[in-house]
Amino acid sequence: MLKMRGIAKSFFTNTLKTQALQPFDLDIEQGDFVSIVGPSGSGKTTFLNIAGLLEDYSEGQYYLGGKDVTGLSDNHKSSLRNQKIGFVFQSFNLIPELNLFDNVEMPLRYRHFSSKERAQRVHEALEKVGLAGRKSHYPQQLSGGQQQRVAITRALAGSPSLLLADEPTGNLDSKMADGIMSLLKDINKQGTSILMVTHDMEQAKQASRIIEIRDGHLSEHQVSLLHRD
Partner 1 sequence: MVSYYIKLAWLSLRKTPLLSFLMIGTIAIGITAAMITVTVGYMMAQNPLPHKSERVAMVHLNSWDPTQPYGYRRNGKNDIPSTLTYQDAMALLQADKADKHALFTQFSDMIRAEAMDVRDAQFHPVRSTTRDFFDVFDAPFIHGGTWSKEADQTGEQVIVLSKHENDRLFGGINSVGQDVLVGTLLYRVVGVIDDWQPTPRFYTHRYLMYQSTLNYFVPLESQIRNELFSPTSMGWSCWGDAPSSTLAQVLLSECVWLYMWVEFDTVDKKDDYFHFLSDYSEEQKQVGRFTRPEPNRLMSVTEYLEKEGAVSKENIMGIGFALAFLLACLCNVMSLMMTKFHGKGGEIGLRRAVGASKKDIIIQFGFELIFIGFVGGVIGLLLAQVGLSVLTDMFSNLHKNVMTMDIYLMVGTIGLAMSTSVLFGLWPIYRASLIQPSSQLKSL
**Which residue ranges make up the site for partner 1 (CB under 8 A)?**
45, 49, 52, 54-55, 74-75, 78-79, 81-83, 86-87, 89-98, 106-107, 109-112, 154-155, 158, 166
Element (H, E) at 120: helix 115-128
Q: Which is nearer to partner 1, 8 or 98 (CB)?
A: 98
The angle subtended at Cα 96 by Cα 82 and Cα 52, nearest 5°, is 25
Q: How far apart are CA 91 and CA 109, in angstroms?
A: 22
Q: Which is nearer to partner 1, 125 or 206 (CB)?
A: 125
Q: How far apart are CA 86 and CA 27, in angstroms?
A: 19
Q: How far is CA 131 from CA 144, 154, 160, 161, in A?
A: 13, 12, 20, 23
Nearest approach in angstroms of CB 167 to partner 1 is: 10
Q: Residue 62 in contact with residue 70, Cβ under 8 Å?
A: yes
The angle subtended at Cα 23 by Cα 17 and Cα 25, nearest 5°, is 160
Nearest approach in angstroms of CB 33 to partner 1 is: 21
Nearest approach in angstroms of CB 196 to partner 1 is: 15
The angle subtended at Cα 220 by Cα 50 and Cα 193, nearest 5°, is 55
Q: Which is nearer to partner 1, 75 or 224 (CB)?
A: 75
Nearest approach in angstroms of CB 120 to partner 1 is: 17
Q: Residue 144 in contact with residue 176, Cβ under 8 Å?
A: yes
Q: Which is nearer to partner 1, 65 or 223 (CB)?
A: 65
Element (H, E) at 105: helix 100-109
Nearest approach in angstroms of CB 50 to partner 1 is: 9
Q: Which is nearer to partner 1, 146 or 206 (CB)?
A: 146
Nearest approach in angstroms of CB 201 to partner 1 is: 22
Q: Which is nearer to partner 1, 76 or 189 (CB)?
A: 76
